[in-house]
Structure 1
């Protein structure tokens, strides 16, 4: 997956961006910071990403701490895009943190989850159900605040018509859907292949902004993520969410965490536009779209508060996917069949302030097994 235009995968204001991440070196993983286009290994000064994010002076620390130069960030991106990847290459920028995700936070994704449920995982039924639901609801769900009187009135009306859904409950009700997407150290990074469960025949990428939250529940930065989704598996039953969401290489995060500072804040996230590009390797398929974070139904900090607080703590911090408005419906393999991945698809998720996350699609059972977990990391740190 070689690419000469690697600068396009970095923030447009790279000279001002405070970027931190993780790379794989010949002897194991390393924590890095990017300064003026140079990658600095700061592992001798900080054990892990969770420790860095917990620092009260995380931004100043990343800006000034000494370390070993690993060369240019563009060379690192090229190494990461190579197949096979060449050390040093990018890993997911998180380590011991929990990987959490919010679902149904955009009106479009709400409708598509209801369609999956009513179609029972059959993609051929989706087009007809989409038209029927839009006619039945008769209004723009993105304008309705979850938990509001208007939302509860719509719930009552839809229940009376037999159209209420568990997805509408979390999309319009007071409680957000927050689930565990993946285990610590299981996410893949920029350039790696993402995995689809071999049983799935209807699936898609879910491009999202991901918050990096410290142990105190404070959002310290943001990055990009692909919450790979199996529409047919989850559509058969919401109780299959774990199988639909957590598989080998089914979670991609990167390329770096951009720390919040005066040039990049939570308001930057709230105003972000996220683009998606899917390029088929075995056909001429091309899909492009754009997601506006201003259309999210719940504020990012509300999603953080629903995840962490007196009811639940995360002593190692967590990464929080904020949800997607993308559920690609463009026909690919036949009229009315909608979209599903092919092996080899190249997926690019991008926003100017964070750069771009690029991955190719493969089957989870054909990818290298996940073998590097917490014990292996601890042994590496001990050595």
Structure 2
């Protein structure tokens, strides 16, 4: 939970057995169902002031926080009891790539090594000196960045990753389909064929249809490094697989006590605990992002591209683990427990499994509409 949760405006999507997904407000130690006012999280986020709207809406008490958290753990859940879902539904799930110098280095290594982790390690020092010496601290699209671009082109070192890392246009891609993200406590998926992969802990902005940033949560942009390293055209296969997108635990709305500056100052911690006793912990700072979050939002949504149901935007990661595991740097093992946390958003916790073995994604937009219609909630939409 957020360290200041008593002062936070928090919303959750909860699975209520026998009913379906519910939009809930956290009030004290209780989760209050407000689905009759806001059938979807997308509808709530489209309000002029979602935090105020959620606070002012009455609802029914459906569960205690402690019981829901206890039933939202990777070790398994009781399907007869409520549990947390990803706190987004109809929103497009988008992601920004190569927004930190460290992630730029790792993408360059993947590209030059063609997805081979052993070859990437041999190239690390050479390419690392280039990134650390010439690229960190550059403002993408600036005259200084353009000068570096010209030098690298002349040296034959230009790359598609350098283009989005220091060029004027950010990499904005579709991470997952609406309603396909898993929530905290659920298994997150890695393709069985992948031999080099990693978690990507990120802050996720929640954007209303008119482009306003109305809140934030946490995400794990699970990545297959060997797949993307073979070709950037395989980005979809590397990123969008069954259960490969995790978001949660709650959506925290912007209000008088929490806003975009808190995101700009956020420190995000990643912890991986393996079933073999392996442990890894790392910290990344949003202060080191190369593009301001609002710049990334403006490149995603605007006159050039609309999202009528809103969007969730992953802001990118500076974390790419290189510690030895299995003799080739880091890669996941089945059963790894991955925790992504920051004090004001809480912790998103998932267990790693093969994507093919994770529960199939079956509850899409059609299923949601049928469910809401069966509960007499479709007429609530404004």
Superimposed CA distance per residue, residues 253-308 of structure 1 (whole angstroms, 9 cap, x where no aligned partner): 00011000111100000000000000001x12111000100000000000000000
For the Cα contact (< 8 Å) 1:142–1:295, is it kept in 2? no
Determine whether 1:327 maps to 2:335.
no
Deviation of 1:140 after TM superposition, in Å, equals: 5.6
Matched, 1:163 2:154: no
Distance 1:24 1:237 in 2: 38
Corresponding residue to 1:316 among 298, 309, 313: 309
Structure 2 residue aligned with 1:307, among 290, 294, 300? 300
Q: Are positions 1:363 and 2:354 aligned together?
A: yes
For normalisation by structure 2, the TM-score amounts to 0.95
CA RMSD of aligned residues (A): 1.0
- Work out whether residues 23 and 32 of structure 1, in 8 Å CA contact, stay in contact via their aligned partners in 2: yes
Distance 1:64 1:276 in 2: 35
CA–CA separation in structure 2 for the residues paired with 1:20 and 1:142: 37
Deviates more, 1:91-100 or 1:33-42: 33-42
Give the Cα separation in 2 of the matches to 1:241 and 1:208: 18
**Hey, what does 1:240 align to over in structure 2?**
234
Pair 1:298-2:291 in alignment: yes
> Structure 1 segments of 4 or more deviating over 2 A?
84-87, 134-138
Query: Which segments of 5 or more consecutive residues in structure 2 lack a partner in the other structure?
Result: 375-382
The aligned runs of 1:115-130 (5 Å cut-off) are 115-130=109-124
TM-score in terms of structure 1 length: 0.95
Give the structure 2 partner of residue 260 of structure 1: 254
After superposition, residues 1-383 of structure 1 pair within 5 angstroms as 10-26=1-17, 27-81=19-73, 82-86=75-79, 87-137=81-131, 139=133, 141-281=135-275, 283-334=276-327, 337-383=328-374
Q: Compute the displacement of 1:85 (Å).
A: 4.5
| Aligned mates of 1:291, 1:53 — CA distance in 2 | 28
Residue aligned with 1:358, SS: strand
CA distance in 2: counterparts of 1:226 and 1:93, whole angstroms: 13
Q: Is the 8 A contact 1:275 1:288 kept in 2?
A: yes
- Unmatched segments (≥5 aa) in structure 1: 1-9
Deviations 1:72-106 (A, max 9, x none): 21221111115135430000000001000000000
Q: Partner of 2:262: helix, strand, or coil?
A: helix
Q: CA deviation at 1:70?
A: 2.1
The Cα shift of 1:130 comes to: 1.1
In structure 2, how many angstroms separate the alpha carbons of the residues matched to 1:280 and 1:119? 27
Give the whole-Å Cα distance in 1 for the aligned partners of 2:233 and 2:355. 21
Q: Distance in 1 between matches of 2:250 and 2:242?
A: 21
